[in-house]
Structure 1
């Protein structure tokens, strides 16, 4: 049981659990999509970024990458860059490859790519490698007070 699952259960939020064997050392989203046999665009990766005004969580499809300029604009910040993995782990309480957008140590500004609404359900990390959670974009937006924007490329 991860903090992300406990959080969703406490919120009485509907979600699906998807477990798989994780043997990847990078590109965890593509690995999850392959293992779970779902489209790459339906698996969203949780990326941590930082700037002078603070940290921002970006949720983008594993089929692409985050556009840092559009992300900064959506978050109301001047400039953002990718956060070093060790810092992301300390800030969220999760290991890289298993960073969930839910139940992080500190509540951060979260921006969800607008393409999430193209899917009935998107998959995000469940809080450890080999565990994904299926949620609706609306649920994620509501629980995390996420900004919806075109941030993927």
Structure 2
């Protein structure tokens, strides 16, 4: 495997991590099985647009979705959106499904749902079929991120 910008950034951060190579997956439950973790520990990195060329990363447990009202209230804004795949890649340097705050072309702010606090989580590693397992608290500290209640349970 090549040394992706994500792995280089992790190395530079000093955050301990374990690489998990698992090949293609079609769903969060497949990703959890391939990574040997529970679905909540497959943490999705969602790129959110606040304005023109103003983005942030939201780390969302696999069994939850962004609560737009909670996130808007936290950020003090009335409007947020999700960029299309091309805009997300332009903002981060990563394709959808591989996005991680580590090694992003721009260091956007990071907000992690409070439910990942104190857990080992898995994140994308900048390449399809590759993830990293990290301590959420160490990762968030390295990213100068914030914990907040910004998700709701995924609808059944």
TM norm structure 2: 0.87
Displacement, 1:51?
2.1
**Where do residues 103-142 of structure 1 align in structure 2 (5 Å cutoff)?**
103-119=103-119, 121-142=120-141
Cα 1:56/1:35, change in 2 over 3 Å: same
| Residue matched to 2:22 | 20
Contact 1:75–1:109 (CA<8 Å) still a contact in 2? Answer: no
Cα distance, 1:92 vs structure 2: 0.4
1:22-49: CA deviations, max 9, x gaps?
Answer: 143xx4x433212123100011001111
Runs of 4+ in 1 over 4 A off after TM superposition: none
* Residues 123 and 9 (structure 1), Cα distance of their counterparts in 2 relative to 1, 3 Å cut: same
| Aligned partners of 1:66 and 1:151 also within 8 Å | yes
For 2:99, the equivalent position in structure 1 comes to: 99
TM-score by length of 1: 0.89
> Structure 2: which 5+ runs fail to align?
none
RMSD of aligned alpha carbons: 1.6
Unmatched runs of 5 consecutive residues or more in structure 1: none
Give secondary structure in 1 for the equivalent of 2:151: coil
